[in-house]
């Protein structure tokens, strides 16, 4: 193939291909995350969830997408038409742009920027313009209040989440997504374990940034109907929706890369000279897991009530079988190919585990009130994040001065931060809004 493409274009071929794949696959992925969300919710709420469209609701996302695309495009009379049209585009563009620096496995990355993390954070924060402009342009009180809440919330929690990430950057010494994963491999421990408080702060911050419950105030259904999306419908609404789920994958991807070892397999052989850390049989796990899913789907197929559902179920089984085949084939392929394919598998597995945690939290907790949200951000998370960053700095000095190991050096930091966290949590501020009125 190389001789067909001029050498001057060659370096751009693969990134463009990846970009096309991401833009094509992401809406589908977002749709299926919605299905996963509904299924997880149903499971936690003692019911079944979608069951009608396709076997076990497997075609529900496609039906939803078709419905949204065919809906009438409504722009409210008194809306600012240009902004109303423009705002969802901002949100969705910025969400998609952030994928350019995300490393899904060692091979699958559009651009390995040396400022990768900074780029992702910068671009995904721009998405807030879409929300604020959309809320403003709708010319509705609910939308406006939702947009204002969103702006305030994002500014507060971006700070805390950013400080949580800095603790990792200090340890990794790089902003490049690849180098950060490499650093975790070199140090022999995922940063989520060495700086658990950095991970915790980022977890909370990322839920707030993506406007998910219990921080879903900008779109709090029971208060603001749908917040900034109140006046949107049909395709424009689905763009916002896509942006929200794309952002969820982005924050999960950042957390995976920085705290959960990126594409590294659990128990991977970090150092060739330390025997026993590598659990090599885990390499077979992805293939076996998908094979198991395939067999399970196959066993479910005869139980489906309608013929078309049986066929879809068999197709699902075949798809899983195909993936299992690819994963198994990768085992005997050259190491670079194998790492690329298995890396992508482990990365996505961790991303979905992180999103599952999001869902779990969402269906367990009530929603914060706005002043409580702000207090949690500014009085608890940001001081804690600062202490954590200082602690990590101290740990690095300990490591350099006394040659402490990468895990041992961080134990005092973690314990110290835990103490501060308990101290901050004890400060039980008044919960009523009364203090807000006294000019606070």
Residue closer to another protein (CB basis): 149 or 236 = 149
Residue closer to another protein (CB basis): 350 or 362 = 362
One of 367, 390, 394, 412 touching another protein (CB under 8 A): 367
Is 437 near another protein (CB under 8 A)? Answer: yes
CB of 44 to another protein, least distance (A): 6
Is 157 near another protein (CB under 8 A)? Answer: no
Is 190 near another protein (CB under 8 A)? Answer: no
Stretch binding another protein (CB under 8 A), from 139-147, 185-193, 263-271, 405-413: 139-147
Enumerate residues 6+ apart whose C-beta is below 8 A from 352: 36, 252
Is 44 near another protein (CB under 8 A)? Answer: yes
Between CA 343 and CA 324 the distance in angstroms is 14
CB of 430 to another protein, least distance (A): 7
Task: Find the angle CA(57)-CA(58)-CA(64) to the nearest 5 degrees.
Answer: 75
CB of 139 to another protein, least distance (A): 6
One of 51, 112, 129, 139 touching another protein (CB under 8 A): 139
Enumerate residues 6+ apart whose C-beta is below 8 A from 277: 188, 267, 269, 270, 271
CB of 81 to another protein, least distance (A): 10
Nearest CA-CA partner of 163 in 382, 377, 380: 382
DSSP 157-201: HHHHHHHHHHHHHHHH----HHHHHHHHHHHTS-HHHHSHHHHHH
CB 261 within 8 A of CB 190: yes
Residue closer to another protein (CB basis): 136 or 347 = 136
Is 228 near another protein (CB under 8 A)? Answer: no
CB of 239 to another protein, least distance (A): 22
Cβ atoms < 10 Å from Cβ of 139? 16
Binding mask 229-268 for another protein (x = CB under 8 A): ----------------------------------------
Residue closer to another protein (CB basis): 71 or 367 = 367
Residue closer to another protein (CB basis): 8 or 432 = 432
Is 142 near another protein (CB under 8 A)? Answer: yes
The pair of structure tokens assigned to 354 is 């992180």
Is 49 near another protein (CB under 8 A)? Answer: no
Binding mask 56-95 for another protein (x = CB under 8 A): ----------------------x-x---------------
Stretch binding another protein (CB under 8 A), from 43-51, 183-191, 281-289, 402-410: 43-51
Enumerate residues 6+ apart whose C-beta is below 8 A from 321: 290, 291, 294
CB 62 within 8 A of CB 138: no
Size of the site for another protein (CB under 8 A): 41
Element (H, E) at 104: none
Enumerate residues 6+ apart whose C-beta is below 8 A from 336: 107
Query: Which residues are 108's β-sheet partners?
Result: 104
CB of 48 to another protein, least distance (A): 11
CB 230 within 8 A of CB 143: yes
Binding mask 347-366 for another protein (x = CB under 8 A): ---------------xxxxx
Stretch binding another protein (CB under 8 A), from 106-114, 216-224, 281-289, 328-336: 216-224
Between CA 369 and CA 216 the distance in angstroms is 10
407-417 per-residue burial string, b: 16 or more CB within 10 A, e: under 16: eebbeebbebb
Residue closer to another protein (CB basis): 99 or 136 = 136
SS3 content of the chain, % helix, strand, coil (to 5): 75, 0, 25
Whether the upstream peptide bond of residue 329 has omega within 30° of 0, thus cis, is no
Stretch binding another protein (CB under 8 A), from 48-56, 163-171, 307-315, 424-432: 424-432
- The radius of gyration of the chain's CA atoms, rounded to the nearest angstrom, is 23
CB 178 within 8 A of CB 109: yes
CB of 237 to another protein, least distance (A): 17
One of 371, 396, 412, 416 touching another protein (CB under 8 A): 371
Is 369 near another protein (CB under 8 A)? Answer: yes
Enumerate residues 6+ apart whose C-beta is below 8 A from 50: 35, 38, 39, 42, 56, 57, 60
Is 200 near another protein (CB under 8 A)? Answer: no
Sites of contact with another protein (CB under 8 A): 41, 44-47, 78, 80, 136, 139, 141-142, 145, 149, 213-214, 216-217, 220-225, 362-372, 430-434, 436-437
């Amino acid at each position: 193939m190389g001789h067909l493409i001029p050498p001057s274009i060659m370096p751009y071929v693969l990134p463009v291909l990846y970009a096309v794949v991401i833009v094509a696959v992401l809406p589908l992925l977002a749709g299926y995350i919605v299905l996963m969300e509904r299924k997880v919710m149903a499971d936690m709420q003692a019911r079944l969830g979608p069951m009608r469209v396709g076997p076990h609701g497997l075609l529900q996302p496609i039906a939803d997408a078709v419905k949204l695309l065919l809906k009438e495009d409504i722009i409210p009379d008194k809306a600012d038409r240009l902004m109303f049209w423009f705002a969802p585009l901002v949100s969705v563009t910025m969400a998609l742009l952030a994928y350019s620096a995300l490393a899904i496995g060692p091979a699958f990355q559009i651009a390995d920027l040396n400022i990768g993390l900074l780029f992702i954070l910068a671009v995904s924060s721009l998405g807030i313009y879409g929300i604020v402009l959309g809320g403003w342009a709708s010319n509705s009180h609910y939308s406006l209040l939702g947009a204002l809440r969103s702006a305030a919330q994002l500014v507060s929690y971006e700070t805390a989440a950013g400080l949580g990430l800095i603790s990792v950057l200090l340890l990794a010494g790089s902003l490049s997504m690849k180098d950060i994963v490499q650093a975790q491999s070199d140090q022999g421990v995922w940063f989520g374990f060495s700086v658990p408080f950095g991970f915790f702060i980022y977890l909370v911050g990322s839920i707030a940034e993506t406007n998910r419950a219990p921080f879903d105030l900008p779109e709090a259904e029971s208060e603001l109907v749908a917040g900034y999306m109140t006046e949107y419908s049909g395709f424009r609404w689905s763009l916002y929706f896509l942006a929200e789920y794309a952002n969820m994958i982005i924050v999960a991807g950042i957390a995976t890369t920085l705290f959960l070892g990126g594409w590294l397999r659990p128990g991977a052989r970090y150092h060739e000279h330390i025997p026993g850390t590598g659990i090599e049989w885990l390499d077979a796990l992805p293939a076996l897991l998908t094979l198991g899913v395939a067999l399970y789907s196959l066993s479910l197929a005869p139980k489906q009530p309608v013929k078309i559902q049986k066929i879809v179920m068999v197709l699902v089984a075949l798809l899983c079988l195909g993936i299992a085949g690819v994963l198994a084939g990768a085992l005997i392929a050259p190491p670079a190919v194998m790492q690329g394919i298995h890396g992508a598998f482990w990365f996505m597995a961790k991303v979905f585990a992180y999103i599952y945690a999001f869902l779990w939290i969402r269906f367990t907790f009530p929603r914060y009130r706005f002043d409580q949200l702000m207090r949690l951000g500014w009085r608890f998370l940001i001081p804690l994040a600062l202490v954590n960053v200082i602690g990590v700095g101290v740990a690095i000095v300990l490591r350099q001065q006394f040659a402490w190991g990468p895990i041992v050096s961080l134990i005092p930091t973690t314990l110290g931060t835990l103490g501060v966290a308990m101290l901050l949590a004890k400060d039980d501020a008044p919960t009523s809004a009364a203090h807000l009125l006294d000019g606070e």
